Amino acid sequence: MLKETKRIKIHTNNSCNLKCSFCYYGDSSRIKEKNPSIEELKKQLKIAKDLGALDVDFSGGESTIMPDFPELVSYATKLGFRTICVITNGLRMANAEYVKKLIKAGLNDVLFSIEGHNAKTHENLTRVVGSFNKIIKAIKNVKKNKLRCRINITVTKENYLDLEKFANFLIPFNPDAVNFIKFNPWDVAIENARILSPKYSEIEPHLKKAIKILSPVVSKITVRYIPYCFMKGYEKHVCNYMHLKNDVDEWWIPSIQYRMHEKSFKYYADFTKRVIKNIPNLLKTKPSLSFNKIVTRFAIKKLYVKPKQCKKCKYFLVCDGIDKPYPSLYGTKEIKPILGDKIKDPMFARGTYLEKYERKNNF
């Protein structure tokens, strides 16, 4: 039976040692928030564990540039977390001794962000010379020490034409999972979004070929932020907001994430501002739902839109739709409904696929 995720995310810092053109956080020098202290991060870990979390993702910024990061990993181990993961660009983990230090502290899962099959593509996006060779060394260090190794790629105009080459490039590393994440221009000016964001129809053929290449080797391939109508025949790979709670690799327990921050007065101030700003989206949710379902519905209403033709689609009830800036970039003519009886179960295609993955990874 499919399990609900027990994974939470700890946002360790805003700083990073890359300058990725697509980064949602943008230039770290523009971020006014102070990085949380090690004591605050430990407090969040303790609250999460007491509330039933079993797995943790450390994410930034770039967590590995924190001087106290090994100490934080060690504390998560002490608390008894089952999976302790870092989402990383791999620069620090190119150092084999540093990797061993993290393993000794208890790290057992790594999610790398790699943006292309060669240095030119990767470094055009990360904007740091030498970052490609370092992430390759980091992946080899992790595989050598037999940690779980997963891969993220943000799909942009810079790399979508080479997704098949990227897939072939990954095969020798035998990753445990691969995530194709279509760039979303949520906090990016339309001018920059046009430079970075390809059309869904442009991505589709290359993405499907990449999945076909990886499927015999990789036990879970996930596609984020692409509507079902562009994934016909590949529906089991689609992961949208309604799938997050049933994916062991995703951190989506809003009730716990909220409690982790509620001791902070600053969080209350930020939370209040967000509520006021998003009243129109909140009014579209049903107060009778559970807190986690309210947050899920809220996120979908806030970030996505469904063109009128979507109402005819059989995936209408289980699809997030398209990102809100998309119509301003490309219009909606390429959105073609797939006709048929309306599907009501979000896990109609993904359920069995995830169950198999859970069994293989002993979740």
pLDDT tens digits along 38-63: 999 999 999 999 999 999 999 999 99
- For position 267, what pLDDT does the model report? 53
- For position 27, what pLDDT does the model report? 45
The answer on pLDDT for 339 being more than 90 is: yes
Q: Please tell me the distance from the alpha carbon of residue 75 to that of residue 46, in angstroms, as a whole number.
A: 9
Q: Indicate whether 142 belongs to any domain.
A: yes
Q: Indicate whether 42 belongs to any domain.
A: yes
pLDDT tens digits along 221-245: 999 999 999 999 999 999 999 999 9
Q: Indicate whether 152 belongs to any domain.
A: yes
Q: Indicate whether 243 belongs to any domain.
A: yes
- For position 162, what pLDDT does the model report? 98
Q: Please tell me the distance from the alpha carbon of residue 34 to that of residue 268, in angstroms, as a whole number.
A: 16
Per-residue confidence band for 269, with pLDDT thresholds at 50, 70 and 90: low
Please compute the mean of the pLDDT values over residues 91-107 and round it to a whole number: 98
The answer on pLDDT for 28 being more than 50 is: no
Domain count, the chain: 1
Q: Please tell me the distance from the alpha carbon of residue 63 to that of residue 102, in angstroms, as a whole number.
A: 12
Q: Indicate whether 54 belongs to any domain.
A: yes
Q: Indicate whether 264 belongs to any domain.
A: no
The answer on pLDDT for 98 being more than 90 is: yes
The chain-wide mean pLDDT, for the chain, equals 90
Q: Indicate whether 105 belongs to any domain.
A: yes
Query: Where in the sequence is the domain holding 243, given as residue range(s)?
Result: 7-253+351-360
Q: Indicate whether 224 belongs to any domain.
A: yes
Question: Which CATH number goes with the domain that contains 237?
Answer: 3.20.20.70
Cis omega (within 30 of 0) for bond into 52 = no
Q: 3-21 b/e with 16+ CB inside 10 Å = b? A: eebbbbbbbbbbbbbbebb
- For position 175, what pLDDT does the model report? 98
The answer on pLDDT for 81 being more than 90 is: yes
